[in-house]
């Protein structure tokens, strides 16, 4: 393949203690945490809004804050969903503490909390490169309508979901030796007979649509039915409105050609799926497609090789680590890349997530709290969800700010002080019986 070399002068437009790359659930919570600890914090997001998969991907369920009716995720993540709840933007449903949220409410509340914390927000800015000296990331480079610009960084939090900064910096990645979990483009329907849709989460409107799955499986023997998963349907957004998680495609989002193909194919698939829903199911007989998500929903891409790789065995045993910084109780939830099957292992206790799984050997100012943190396939398949990565983000933001204050590398972070701070914020980090 031909290559070219280009040299370019890039203006350094700011200097920050902590630069957070990516404003999804992990990133916006990281930024709030760092700023609340007194760090000069910047948050760079490629879209014009925050929320990542929750908003750009329309992933309305924020799961899970409870285990058997007891809160296990607290602090800033809980504060966020309680704020939404107080504004009528969703309800926390025991016993698992699932929260279904309207993406617009999510965007607004995330942006308000970030700005109130004093974070410098850069929207419509794509992190395209970083400057690394002996493992230290000195600058993050972003591209926007203003051209290429750099931010000088004390500490960098990679919350791009895909480990973009970590990959650019040369952090080694794990190879699971098996296919990635498939992607899904969510869509929103209007004119749905939502009164016919049974509760998916207790106390909340929505349906697991088992009858739809069975009928489509039957239809697929005689006609063209695009690959689908679930389906799951959330109907709490307003009269006749339903958010549907149904389309499915195996692909690698970090490959530009495959990403383009997925956006195009899944939009075609949704066109066919909506017709099938209208033709075969009374609740959808008058349904109209209101929108497809801004981007394909991505479950999985890269995984960094951290100082510790959290394993499924540690996870299922709820192993307590001295450096536990977050909890997660979502089931181990592995979607098949080939068909509409799913492995779902419910946990006996909420798992603990260690600090060492968000840092990498030899990278003294980088933290990676988002879905690309260091875990094996099983542990990842639970902790990837929003409450899990928000908890990691909260810890990463606080840790980065503290390391900055103490002049320490992330590997030498004061874990006792970090845990005390997180517990003071309301995180449930004590060792369970
Ligand atoms: C189909 C599907 C169903 C799901 N179901 C659930 C569920 O039921 N419950 C649940 O809690 N979770 C669910 N999830 C998982 C959850 O949505 C994600 O794992 C979670 O959003 C991960 O958060 P994150 O912040 O790590 O990454 P993301 O949400 O991916 O956020 C990354 C952010 O970084 C930005 N970004 C990326 N690259 C760059 C760059 N180079 N420069 C600037 N910005 C960048 C993105 O725009 C985005 O805002 C589901 C996901 C999918 C796809």
φ, ψ (nearest 5 deg) of residue 194: -65, -25
Q: What is the pLDDT of residues 31-73, one digit of tens each?
A: 999 999 999 999 999 999 999 999 999 998 899 999 999 999 9
- Ligand 1 pocket test, pick from 19, 21, 22, 63 with the greatest ligand atom count within 8 Å of Cβ, gives 22
pLDDT at residue 394 tops 90: yes
Beta carbon of 23 within 6 Å of any ligand 1 atom: yes
CATH number of the structural domain 12-172+303-332+348-425: 3.50.50.60
Beta carbon of 194 within 6 Å of any ligand 1 atom: no
Contacts of 30 (CB under 8 A, 6+ apart): 18, 20, 157, 159, 367, 369, 393, 394, 396, 397, 400
Q: How many angstroms separate the alpha carbon of residue 282 from the centre of ligand 1? A: 33
DSSP-derived letter for residue 180 is: P
Q: How many angstroms separate the alpha carbon of residue 371 from the centre of ligand 1? A: 7
Three-state SS at 154: strand
pLDDT of amino acid 341: 85
Q: Are 308 and 357 in contact (CB under 8 A)?
A: yes
- Where does the chain hold its CATH 3.50.50.60 domain(s)? 12-172+303-332+348-425
- Ligand 1 pocket test, pick from 386, 390, 393, 396 with the greatest ligand atom count within 8 Å of Cβ, gives 386
Three-state SS at 430: coil
Three-state SS at 233: strand
Q: Are 347 and 327 in contact (CB under 8 A)?
A: no
Name beta bridge partners: 292: 187
The whole-angstrom separation of Cα 304 and Cα 83 is: 32
Q: How many angstroms separate the alpha carbon of residue 139 from the centre of ligand 1? A: 24
pLDDT tier at 200, thresholds 50, 70, 90: low
Element (H, E) at 396: helix 386-406
Residue % of the chain over a pLDDT of 70: 97
pLDDT of amino acid 368: 98
pLDDT at residue 93 tops 90: no
The whole-angstrom separation of Cα 295 and Cα 186 is: 9
The whole-angstrom separation of Cα 59 and Cα 54 is: 4
Ligand 1, atom 35: nearest CA belongs to which residue? 22
pTM value is 0.97
pLDDT at residue 202 tops 50: no
Ligand 1, atom 45: nearest CA belongs to which residue? 22
Q: Are 161 and 370 in contact (CB under 8 A)?
A: yes
User: Would you state the structure tokens that stand for residue 384, as one six-digit string?
Assistant: 């990837």
- Ligand 1 pocket test, pick from 125, 161, 381 with the greatest ligand atom count within 8 Å of Cβ, gives 161
CA-based radius of gyration for the chain: 21
Three-state SS at 325: strand
101 alpha carbon, distance to own chain's centre: 14
- Ligand 1 pocket test, pick from 24, 103, 236 with the greatest ligand atom count within 8 Å of Cβ, gives 24
Half-sphere exposure of 262 (CA within 13 A, CB side): 24
DSSP-derived letter for residue 129 is: E
Q: What is the pLDDT of residues 421-432, one digit of tens each?
A: 999 999 999 997
Ligand 1, atom 20: nearest CA belongs to which residue? 386
Q: What is the pLDDT of residues 228-264, one digit of tens each?
A: 998 988 887 788 999 999 999 999 999 999 999 999 9
* CB-based burial, 49-64: b 16+ in 10 Å, e otherwise: bbbbbbbbbbbbbbbb
pLDDT of amino acid 102: 87
Name beta bridge partners: 126: 143
pLDDT at residue 205 tops 50: no
């Amino acid at each position: 393949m031909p290559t070219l070399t280009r040299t370019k002068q890039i203006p350094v437009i700011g200097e920050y203690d902590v630069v957070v790359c990516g404003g999804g659930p992990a990133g916006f919570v990281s930024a709030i945490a760092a700023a609340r600890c007194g760090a000069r914090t910047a948050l760079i997001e490629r879209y014009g809004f925050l929320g990542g998969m929750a908003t750009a991907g329309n992933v309305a369920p924020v799961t899970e804050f409870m285990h058997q009716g007891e809160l296990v995720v607290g602090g800033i993540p809980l504060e966020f969903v309680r704020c939404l709840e107080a504004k009528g933007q969703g309800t926390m449903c025991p016993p698992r503490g699932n929260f279904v949220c309207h993406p617009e409410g999510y965007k607004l509340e995330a942006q308000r909390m970030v700005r109130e914390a004093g974070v410098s927000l850069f929207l419509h800015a794509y992190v395209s490169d970083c400057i690394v000296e002996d493992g230290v990331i000195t600058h993050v480079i972003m591209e926007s309508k203003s051209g290429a610009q750099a931010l000088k960084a004390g500490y960098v939090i990679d919350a791009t979901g895909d480990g973009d900064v970590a990959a650019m910096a040369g952090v080694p990645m794990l190879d699971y030796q098996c296919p990635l979990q498939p992607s899904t483009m969510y869509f929103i329907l209007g004119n749905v007979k939502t009164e016919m849709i049974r509760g998916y989460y207790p106390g909340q409107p929505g349906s697991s649509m088992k009858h739809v799955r069975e009928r489509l499986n039957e239809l697929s023997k005689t006609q063209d039915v695009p690959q689908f998963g679930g389906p799951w349907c959330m109907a709490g957004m307003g009269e006749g409105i339903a958010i549907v998680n149904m389309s499915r495609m195996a692909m690698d989002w970090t490959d530009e050609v495959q990403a383009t193909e997925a956006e195009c194919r899944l939009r075609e698939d949704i066109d066919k799926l909506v017709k099938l829903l209208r033709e075969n199911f009374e609740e959808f007989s008058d349904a109209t497609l209101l929108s497809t998500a801004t981007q394909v929903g991505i479950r999985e891409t890269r995984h960094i090789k951290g100082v510790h790789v959290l394993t499924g065995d540690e996870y299922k045993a709820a192993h307590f680590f001295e450096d536990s910084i977050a909890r997660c109780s979502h089931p181990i939830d592995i979607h098949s890349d080939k068909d509409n099957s799913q492995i779902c292992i419910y946990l006996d206790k909420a798992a603990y997530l260690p600090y060492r799984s968000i840092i990498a050997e030899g990278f003294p100012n980088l933290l990676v709290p988002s879905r690309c943190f260091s875990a094996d396939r099983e542990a990842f398949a639970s902790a990837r969800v929003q409450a899990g990565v928000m908890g990691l983000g909260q810890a990463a933001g606080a840790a980065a700010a503290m390391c900055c204050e103490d002049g320490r590398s992330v590997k030498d972070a004061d874990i006792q002080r970090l845990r005390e701070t997180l517990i003071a914020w309301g995180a449930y980090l004590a060792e369970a019986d």
